[in-house]
Structure formats: structure tokens, C-alpha cells
Amino acid sequence: MEDDFYATLKLKSGEEIFARVAASEEEHRTMLVVHNPVLIAEVKGKRGGIIGYKIEPWLKTTKDDMFLMNLDNIITMSESNDIEMMVMHQQYVHDIGCPRNNSNKINRRMGYISNVNDAKEILEKIYKNSPKKSS
């Protein structure tokens, strides 16, 4: 197996995935070993600018983290040197490997918990009682 690297793969299916990839010779043909492939979508703000990225697993019904791909199923592959993308991918891999605990449940010690109607009423009172600025 060759050294692995990060890459974006465009598949014949139309999917575009980002993953850590390594080439492997299998029965006189080259296969790609793809580690933790993900789909990355841009999240755009109200004014149309990109404000972040959303990362999702490529296959949602499996817990496997490594896949073999035949080069015949790949249209193109681009090695990535984008540090931000690599860090996001590494964070994703770390997050799926760590079991989530329930210690972060919301409770009253974290602050005031209110329903929408109560919060609206309180904010309206604050607004009405605030000093008015003259222009």
C-alpha cells in the first residue's frame, strides 16, 4: 500500500467525497483504500456568502470507516493540501470515535430557561422601559 493522502474524489455517481486515500494493488489492478469518506456541503448565509461547512458521512447506514474503490468508478481525484479541510476531516473522525455522554444536558444551573412567550414578554418590557435616544 502506498502512502496515504487527503483527496477529493468525484465519482461516476455524481457524488463528491473528501477522504484520506491510499492506493493498493489488488489482483493486478489498482484500488483505492478510502478512510472515513465524507460529503462536505457549503453553508451559506442570508446574503449568499459562505459561513461554514457541513460534514456528513458518505454512507449513513454503516459504521465502517474504510472502503475499497475501483478506479473505474472514479471520474477524477484531486490531492488536497487545504489545511482547513484536513483539520475538519480529522475533527469529524475524532468526534465519531468519541462516545457522547449526557453530561451536557440543559439544566437550570446553566442559566435561565424560559419558553418563547415568557421571553418575548420580558424582552418587550425591557424595550419599552429603555431610555429613548433622540436623534
Query: CB atoms < 10 A from the CB of 50, how many?
Result: 9
| Tens-binned pLDDT, residue by residue, of the chain (135 aa) | 568 999 999 999 999 999 999 998 878 888 999 999 999 888 888 887 777 888 999 999 988 999 999 999 999 999 999 998 899 899 889 888 876 655 566 666 666 667 788 888 888 888 888 887 665
Per-domain residue ranges for the chain? 5-100
Specify whether the backbone of 106 is left (phi greater than 0), alpha (psi in -120 to 50) or beta.
beta
Is 0.85 surpassed by the pTM of this model?
A: no
Sequence-ordered strand ranges (E) for the chain: 5-11, 16-26, 29-44, 50-57, 66-70, 74-79
CA dist 11 and 77 (Å) reads 9
Choices 2.40.50.430, 2.60.120.460, 2.30.30.100, 3.30.9.10: CATH for 5-100: 2.30.30.100
Helix, coil or strand: residue 112? coil
Residue with cell 478510502: 34
Task: Decide if 5 contacts 79 (C-beta within 8 A).
Answer: yes
